Amino acid sequence: MSAAAAARQILTRLTEVMASRLHVQGKLDQVVEIIGECLSSEVCSIYLLREGMLELFATRGLNQSAVHVTRMAIGEGLTGAIAQKVETLNLAEAKAHPDFQYRPETGEDKFHSFAGVPIVYRERAVGVLSVQHIDPRRYEEVEIEALQTTAMVLSELIANAELVDEEEARGLTQEQTGPQTLTGLTLVKGLGAGHAVYHQPRVEITQVMAEDTEAERQRVYRAFDRMREQIDTLASQAEFGVGGEHEEVLETYKMFAYDEGWSRRINEAIDSGLTAEAAIERVQQHTRMRMREIDDPLLADRMHDLEDLANRLLRIVAGQIGTAASQGLRRDTILIARNLGPAELLEYDRRRLKGVILEEGSLTAHVVIVARAMNVPVIGRINNGKGGGVRTTIREGDEILLDATAGSAIVRPLPQVADAFQTRFAKSREKQAAYASLRDVEPFTRCGTRIQVMMNAGLRDDMSALAMTGADGVGLFRTEFQFLVSATLPQRERQTRLYRDVLEAAGDKPVIFRTVDIGGDKAVPYLASEIAAQDENPAMGWRALRLALEREGLMKVQARSLMEASAGRSLYVMFPMVSEPWEFDAAKAVFDEQLVYLRAQKKLLPERIHFGAMLEVPALAEVLDMLLPKLSFLSIGTNDLTQFLFAADRANPKLAERYDWLSPSILRFLRRVMQGCVGSGVDVGVCGEMGGRRLEALALMGIGYRRLSITPAAVGPIKELVRKVDLGELSAAMTGWLAEPQRDLRQQLSDWADARDIEYD
Ligand code: PEP
Ligand code: MG
């Protein structure tokens, strides 16, 4: 009988056994007989996990007296190694393998070849199925596949018969693979504890054998079509954006999605009698095994992409298309994703979201800004030290302690580690409480200068932070957040309601509304195709004011909404991405026109409108003298400004740490802008992430900035910092350092702060 015929026969006979009325033990006994016969193997054995050990449950060919007697620890012998690494072994000469161990009670000394596959349940090995042969021979691929299929069938049987419960499977990971520490880049500082939830959950396969092969084939065809469609449109969507690394990933995805070999293998697996889900999973297991044999780090990366795609195909086939957000979080969660768009993060329940682990990510990407605003710690560019993806280390539901400040995550922690973490957690809460006590304290420097410490916001919910932190107002209200969280363009009534609520929550404190800044990494579904069709580099593309001036309707609606919401009080408006003075004029003209209209309608108008601009495109600095006379205020967006000054994409993880905000080029630039504003008497501040970091805030104060608008969590720490600073001393030091600068001013500033007992970490 050919190997392929044998594999087919195995499945047919397994189907009969599984449908029979035999008891579980009877079924296991039958399975080893069938495999042994069809693969002409003298031995076939099934080991299952019981009380943390792999116990021989059924065998053909080994001594029957060893059944329920022979027990191996995970990691012990070949069987233990398969369970520990959750991988297949195929050896012509078992004794030559370093993990080989001889068990006299089984009588296995006469066998040479050995092949074994893990029996996997909920991503954990709960048993091993193995065959042995007297002659040295390697099993053929189809034979290994038949074993893998059998292992899937056994996993279904084991789950139904509750032979291995989930607790036990968990116990295995705790004891045997134990705690793991992953390291990454700090994106949002803080501590968080919870259970792992994948943004894109893995599908549980509940039925392995098909009832109607043709129907399964159709399901897989349809799923392939949908997946290819999705991949083709992904380039224009928020999940990936366009450019750089993302494009590479997308190309690889396309290559895999259209790979004939992949779809053919899945079809063959369906032919052998599997359901669509089981066929996809079995082909994936096989690919994993092949990839492991090739020792190439680049391939490990590709494997990661293919895993992602196979997972996507599985979700489509199983009809589980939504993300974890759509299923709702049931307990404290550490969310894990390759990358996220800001809108995707906002879909999660804030109360249960305790932290985020991203495989990519960078400091000023909007998802990170949103997380910072939500006060959710984040680490990115995660690494398990072995080059594998996080899925190899973290399983759905694992306990995780996230120390984003240190850039690490402890997975499945030991109890004493968890205790120590809780102690730190308590300390950090104490510190937060100390900051909260500064709420009503005005931030004067030691030399008596009042620094304006305002906060950034973007949603209605953010406004509660104003009272909690005692910030001086909202220095940047990112109005586009409302656009990001809605599936369609927000209508005027909805916008007016939001702005009114925000102003009401602010009381008599000022709120600076920034007109929509969509585009770039802030993609919105209803404009995505237009933006992507035109832009190879969306950050420098048709975004913010550029888009708004051409979509005048959008700007008009926003102008009306803002004016109606501020009836009877002051309105502060600021335009993003102003690159030339005429753009400011054009934007202001839209507001003027709406004001005329509202006046004609006899509507109650704002008492005063203050118009400001953001400086985030370097070119504007050269013509600032032309713009300043028209402005009530200027606000510097250091996130975009630095990406343009350094020509370094703010969302590119490879550049995340390359350039420093404390570089002389940025600080000299900012000082020059400051001098221009002082000369014209225009109020100027910084509203980028830079101002919320303490060393950076010191530098900004040292070159003359007196207004910072920062993330709410930073308000307390920055107030505390302000109160310890003598500006005369600081600016003298800054002048000296900037006259003869080093690569960056980090060391000098931290030494300066250390000498004065000023905390800055
Ligand atoms: C900036 O660019 O610094 C800024 C504050 O705006 P955003 O981060 O929303 O682009
Ligand atoms: Mg910006």
pLDDT surpassing 90 at residue 166: no
Q: Is 643 in the pocket of ligand 1 (CB under 6 A)?
A: no
Is 539's C-beta closer than 6 angstroms to any atom of ligand 1? no
Confidence at residue 632, expressed as pLDDT on a 0 to 100 scale? 97
**Count of beta carbons in the 10 Å neighbourhood of residue 579:** 18
Which ligand ends up closest to the CA of 456? 1
pLDDT, position 597: 96
Q: Ligand 1: which atom is nearest the Cα of residue 689?
A: 3
Q: Residue 435's pLDDT is what?
A: 86
Cβ(687) to ligand 1 under 6 A?
Answer: yes
**Alpha-carbon span 671 to 439, nearest angstrom:** 30
pLDDT in tens, 587-617: 999 999 999 999 999 999 999 999 999 999 9
Q: Which residue has the higher pLDDT, 613 or 415?
A: 613
Nearest to residue 591, comparing CAs of 633, 549, 550, 627? 549
Within 51-112, strands assigned E span 53-60, 71-73, 89-91
pLDDT confidence of 635, banded at 50, 70, 90? very high
- Report whether 6 contacts 38 (CB < 8 A): yes
Residue 507 to residues 34, 412, 496, Cα–Cα distance (Å)? 77, 46, 17
Higher-pLDDT residue of 249 and 31 is: 31
- Binding site membership of 478 for ligand 1 (Cβ less than 6 Å): yes
- How far apart, in whole angstroms, are the C-alpha atoms of residue 491 and residue 671? 41
C-beta of 640 in contact with ligand 1 (< 6 A): yes
CA of 433 to the centre of ligand 1 (A): 29
Taking the CB of residue 240, how many other CB atoms lie within 10 A of it? 20
CA 638 to centroid of ligand 1, rounded, Å: 7
CA 232–ligand 1 middle distance (angstroms): 30
Residue identifier of the C-alpha nearest atom 10 of ligand 1: 640
Strand order in the sheet with 89-91: 71-73, 53-60, 43-50, 124-133, 113-121, 89-91
Find the ligand nearest to 522 CA: 1
Question: Between these two residues, 53 and 248, which has the higher pLDDT value?
Answer: 53
Interval between CA 456 and ligand 2 midpoint (Å): 12
* Alpha carbon nearest to ligand 1 atom 6, residue: 637
What's the confidence (pLDDT) of residue 749? 97
Count CA atoms closer than 13 A to 14's CA, side-chain side: 29
Q: Is the CB of 688 under 6 A from ligand 1?
A: yes
**DSSP 8-state assignment for residue 378:** E
pLDDT band at 532 (very low <50, low <70, confident <90, very high): low
Residue 318 tokens, joined = 């199983």
Q: Pick 595 or 761 by higher pLDDT.
A: 595
Pocket mutation for ligand 1, best pick of 364, 546, 634 (most atoms within 8 Å of C-beta): 364
| Ligand 2 (single-atom ion) residues, CB below 5 Å | 616, 637, 640
DSSP labels for 497-550? HHHHHHHHHHTTS-EEEEPP--BTTB--TTTHHHHHHH-SSGGGSS-HHHHHHH
Q: Which ligand is nearest to the CA of 365?
A: 1
> Ligand 1: which of 459, 512, 517, 686 to mutate, most ligand atoms within 8 Å of CB?
517
* Residue 159: alpha-carbon gap to chain centroid: 31
- Quick check: helix, strand or coil at residue 413? coil
Which residues sit opposite 335 in a β-bridge?
A: 197, 356
Q: CB of 320 within 8 A of CB of 203?
A: yes
Q: Give the pLDDT of residue 322.
A: 79
- The answer to whether 593 and 638 have CB atoms below 8 angstroms apart is no
Is the CB of residue 639 below 6 angstroms from any atom belonging to ligand 1? yes
Beta strands in 212-253 (DSSP E): none
Query: Whose CA is closest to 366, among 550, 633, 544, 555?
Result: 544
DSSP 61: S
- Contact between residue 77 and residue 65 where contact means Cβ atoms under 8 Å apart: no
Counting Cα atoms < 13 Å in the Cβ hemisphere of 616 gives 26
pLDDT at 169 over 90: no
Residues 393, 295: Cα–Cα separation, whole Å: 19
**Looking at the predicted structure, is the pLDDT value of residue 678 above 70?**
yes
Q: Which atom of ligand 1 is nearest to the CA of 366?
A: 8
How many A from CA of 212 to the centre of ligand 2?
A: 55
Q: Measured in angstroms, how far is the CA atom of residue 513 from the centroid of ligand 1?
A: 13
Alpha-helical runs (H) found in 572-711:
581-600, 619-622, 624-627, 638-645, 664-680, 694-702
- 372-411 pLDDT tens trace: 878 899 999 887 655 456 777 888 899 999 999 989 999 9
DSSP state of 745: S
Q: What is the pLDDT of residue 285?
A: 77
Ligand 1 centroid–CA 709 distance in Å is 11
Which ligand sits nearest to residue 521's alpha carbon?
1
pLDDT tens, position by position, 248-283: 566 777 788 888 888 999 998 898 888 999 999 888
CA dihedral in degrees (618, 622, 623, 627; nearest 10)? 60
Whether 501 shows a pLDDT value over 70: the answer reads yes
Ligand 1 touching residue 473 (CB < 6 A): no
Residue 61: pLDDT band (50, 70, 90) is: very high
Q: Which atom of ligand 1 is nearest to the CA of 690?
A: 3
Out of 143-147, 192-196, 482-486, the most confident range is 192-196
- Per-residue pLDDT averaged across 36-40, rounded? 91
Count of residues for the chain?
761
- Judged against a pLDDT cut of 60, whether residue 336 lies above it is answered with yes
The CA R_g of the chain, rounded to the nearest whole Å, is 31
Contact 570, 610 (CB under 8 A): yes
Q: Find the 631 Cα to ligand 2 centroid distance in Å.
A: 18
With a 6 Å cutoff on the Cβ, whether 275 touches ligand 1 is no
Distances (CA, A) of 687 to 190, 342, 475, 670, 672: 21, 19, 7, 13, 17
Query: Residues 213-255: pLDDT tens digits?
Result: 999 999 999 999 998 888 777 655 433 333 444 455 667 777 8
Contact 743, 663 (CB under 8 A): yes
Can you tell me the mean pLDDT for 548-554? 83
Q: Which of 40-54, 56-70, 481-495, 566-580 shows the lowest mean pLDDT across its residues?
A: 481-495
Contact 499, 561 (CB under 8 A): yes
- Ligand 1 pocket, residue 616 CB under 6 Å: yes
C-beta of 480 in contact with ligand 1 (< 6 A): no
For the question of whether the overall pTM of this predicted structure is more than 0.75, the answer is no
Ligand sitting nearest the alpha carbon of 364: 1
* Average pLDDT, rounded, for the chain: 87
pLDDT at 454: 98
Distance 259 CA to ligand 2 centre (A): 40
Q: Summarize pLDDT for 707-747 with one digit per residue, the tens.
A: 999 998 899 999 999 999 999 999 999 999 999 999 889 99
Predicted pLDDT at 116: 94
Ligand 1 atom nearest to CA at 480: 9
Max distance between CA atoms of the chain, in angstroms, equals 100
Which mutation among 615, 616, 634 tests ligand 1's pocket best, with the greatest number of atoms within 8 A of CB?
616
pLDDT confidence of residue 385 = 57
DSSP notation for 566-608: TTTSEEEEEETT--SHHHHHHHHHHHHHHHHHHHHTT----SE
Quick one: CA dihedral 206, 209, 211, 217, positive or negative?
A: positive
The C-alpha angle with vertex 123 and arms to 403 and 246, in degrees rounded to 5, equals: 60
Q: Could you tell me the distance, in angstroms and rounded to a whole number, from the CA of residue 365 to the centre of ligand 1?
A: 10
**What confidence score (pLDDT) does residue 241 get?**
38
The response to whether residue 521 sits with its C-beta less than 6 Å from ligand 1 reads no
Confidence of residue 174 (pLDDT cuts 50, 70, 90): very low
**E strand or H helix at 127:** strand 124-133
744 close to ligand 1 (CB < 6 Angstrom): no
Burial grade of 71 (CB within 10 A; 0-12, 13-18, 19 or more): middle
Query: Residue 46 and residue 57: Cα distance in Å, rounded?
Result: 6
**Closest ligand relative to 369 C-alpha:** 1
Name the DSSP class of 610. E
Instruction: For residue 514, report the distance from its CA to the centre of ligand 1, in Å.
Output: 10
Answer for the pair 593, 555: CB distance below 8 angstroms, yes or no. no
**Which amino acid is present at 399?**
E
| 637 CB near ligand 1 (under 6 Å) | yes
Is 90 exceeded by the pLDDT of residue 755?
yes
